[in-house]
Amino acid sequence: MAAELQFLRKIGLFRDLADDELGQIGALMIERRYARGEMVFAEDQTGQSMYLVKEGRVKVSRWLPSGRELILAFHPTGDYFGEMALIDGMTVPATVTAVDASTILSLDRGQFLGLLRERSFAMALLRTLCARCREAWQQIEVLTHHNAEARIRMALHQLCERSGKPTSEGMRIDERLTHRELASIAGVSRETATRVLGSLVEQGLLRMDSQRMVVARPDALLETTLFD
């Protein structure tokens, strides 16, 4: 139980709750394990729980009419999802799938609504929803570009801003993304993403470091007539 409380305490939504409240929440959570590639829930299923990633990583995606997958977000260890559907009772407009073998904790709707009476929890939730809105606006910004290279450049720039870590060689993107995953974020084909990434490497703007991308100068990604 101590380990469980320590994990929950690191999550922004629960950080300011008292130990006894946190203990009650932890006791009510259901733990499930998902294999790599296994679906947590499908698009248009009504959300009845909020989910916390205890171990692993999941992706949130939608399938376009063309049959192409569009990745909306990744949730790594310590992140959470599903909270919006518990507020308005609407269906979840996305599919969530385990990218790696994952352990997920779930909190049902009744317990979640009870927590909303706690001011600290409600304020933390509002901050989360604001962040989700900003991420959605950024996704729209990527997809408004008709040029595939512009989409990849914009997606990389936003990843640098969200999860980049400064290094002596540039900004390292800590999210481990395959070419296919990056292509799905930008709404282009994997072949196109591979071609654009290769070009950025040749230009000295990008390098691969232990399966992670390092962008030499993030702002240089946007210094092109593609955005005129």
Domain shared by 11 and 42, yes or no: yes
Pair 98, 15 in one domain: yes
Whether residue 121 sits in one domain with residue 39: yes
Q: Tens of pLDDT along 24-54? A: 888 888 999 999 999 998 876 666 788 999 9
Q: Residue 95's CB: how many other CB atoms inside 10 A? A: 19
The predicted-structure confidence for 83-139, as pLDDT tens digits, reads as follows: 877 877 777 678 899 999 999 999 888 888 888 887 878 888 888 888 877 777 666
Provide the pLDDT for residue 227. Answer: 65
Q: Which domain holds residue 128?
A: 2-142
Q: Give all strands of the β-sheet with 57-63 in edge-to-edge order.
A: 39-41, 95-98, 57-63, 69-76
* Average pLDDT of the chain, as a whole number: 83
pTM of the model: 0.69
- The sheet that has 80-81: what strands, in order across it? 30-34, 102-108, 49-55, 80-81
Residue 105 pLDDT: 92
Q: Return d(Cα 198, Cα 202) in angstroms, integer.
A: 6
Using alpha carbons, list the distances in angstroms from residue 172 to 76, 209, 214. 17, 8, 4
| Beta strands 80-81; 49-55: pairing state | antiparallel
**116, 217: one domain:** no
